[in-house]
Amino acid sequence: MSQDELYAVTARVVDEFTSAAMLFTGLDVSNAVKQTLTEARHRDISPIVRDLYERKGMGAYTQTLIDVMAAGQKPAKAFLYHLPEQAVALYDDAMRSQLATPPQRQQRVADDGALSASATEAGVRIGKDGRARVPRKLIENAGIRGDRVLVRTDQAAGKLTIVAPGSSAPAPAPVDPLYALPDLFFAATDNGQPLNYEHPSLLHIPRSMIDMFGQDPNLVARIENGTVVVVKR
């Protein structure tokens, strides 16, 4: 098991939990990861979970320190990850039972391999966390490579445009936490909003950027002139 493999599986599990708007702890993530990587250990997974949270890889999720039972016996503290509008009390036995269910293999395959190298259009899945998920394969089909993209918002035209960062542009600075939107890690630039891939095969577009499409939009991503445009169907 490589570190890259561990990171990829952990990122997928976190995406599955956040897409379903579940409340969860790092231990819940570890237990789910171990269903795929049986040799994985919580001490190796928990730093990845914290890194994803700090880099806004969970979108608008926040964290609250709660009391838990370590190994089911000893009182301990743990961070609970949840959307700001969700009460901590929702993390109950029923929620923990859902978290213990093996991840949806079918959804994982659809994210990873449904698009061909010639695909020019793909549906955009929006999770219950409000984030849009654009297949990385489609973005790469447009010739946009690397681990970071720029997303430009055009509210008048009702579209988002994904473009490659300028090769000569300076690295974007992290958002000042005193003024940050809850789901953005980088400050916007004149050329667009920088976003990093925090998932092996999906680009997450934060809900703060998706809100302009209204409630429960049906979105599609299309390649246009070396860019990827996200619009309503």
Q: State the burial class of residue 205 (Cβ atoms within 10 Å of its Cβ: 0-12, 13-18, 19+).
A: buried
Token pair recorded at residue 60: 């608008």
Residue 111 is predicted with a pLDDT of: 57
Report yes or no: 161 and 149 within 8 Å, Cβ to Cβ: no
Residues 96 and 10 in one domain: yes
Average model confidence (pLDDT) across the chain:
87
Q: What is the pLDDT of residues 196-218, one digit of tens each?
A: 999 999 999 999 999 999 988 99
Q: Which range (15-19, 175-179, 194-198) has the least confidence? A: 175-179
Residues 61 and 151 in one domain: no
pTM across the whole model: 0.86
Residues 149 and 220 in one domain: yes
Residues 123 and 211 in one domain: yes
Residue 117 is predicted with a pLDDT of: 87
Cα dihedral across residues 128, 130, 134, 135: positive or negative: negative
Residues 23 and 91 in one domain: yes
Residue 115 has pLDDT above 70, yes or no: yes
Residues 6+ apart with CB under 8 A from 156: none
Does 122 or 176 have the greater pLDDT score?
Answer: 122
Residue 212 is predicted with a pLDDT of: 92
Residues 146 and 222 in one domain: yes
How many structural domains compose the chain? 2
Residue 176 is predicted with a pLDDT of: 57
Residue 177 has a CB neighbour count (10 Å cut-off) of 6
- Which CATH number is 188's domain given? 3.40.1550
Q: For tokens 């994982």, what's the residue? A: 108
Q: Which range (113-117, 120-124, 139-143) has the least confidence? A: 113-117
| Residue 146 is assigned to a structural domain of this protein | yes
> At which of 103, 128, 162 does a domain end?
103
> At which of 61, 77, 103 does a domain end?
103
| Residue 109 is assigned to a structural domain of this protein | no
Token pair recorded at residue 105: 């293999």
Residues 59 and 136 in one domain: no
| Residue 173 is assigned to a structural domain of this protein | yes
Residue 187 has pLDDT above 90, yes or no: no
Q: State the burial class of residue 208 (Cβ atoms within 10 Å of its Cβ: 0-12, 13-18, 19+).
A: middle
Q: Which regions of the chain does DSSP assign to beta strands (E)?
A: 24-25, 62-70, 74-82, 121-126, 132-135, 148-154, 159-163, 193-196, 202-205, 219-224, 227-232
> At which of 81, 103, 125 does a domain end?
103
pLDDT band at 103 (very low <50, low <70, confident <90, very high): low
- Which CATH number is 83's domain given? 1.10.10
Domain extent for 95: 3-103
- Can you give 129-147 as a three-state secondary structure string? CCCEEEEHHHHHHCCCCCC
* CA 153 – CA 5 distance, rounded (Å): 33
Residues 163 and 96 in one domain: no
Tally of CA atoms within 13 A in the half-sphere of 228 that contains its CB? 29
pLDDT band at 171 (very low <50, low <70, confident <90, very high): low
Token pair recorded at residue 142: 């447009």
Give me the amino acid identity at 42: H
* CA 230 – CA 212 distance, rounded (Å): 12
Token pair recorded at residue 22: 């579940």
Q: What is the pLDDT of residues 36-88, one digit of tens each?
A: 999 999 999 999 999 999 999 999 999 999 988 766 677 888 899 999 999 99
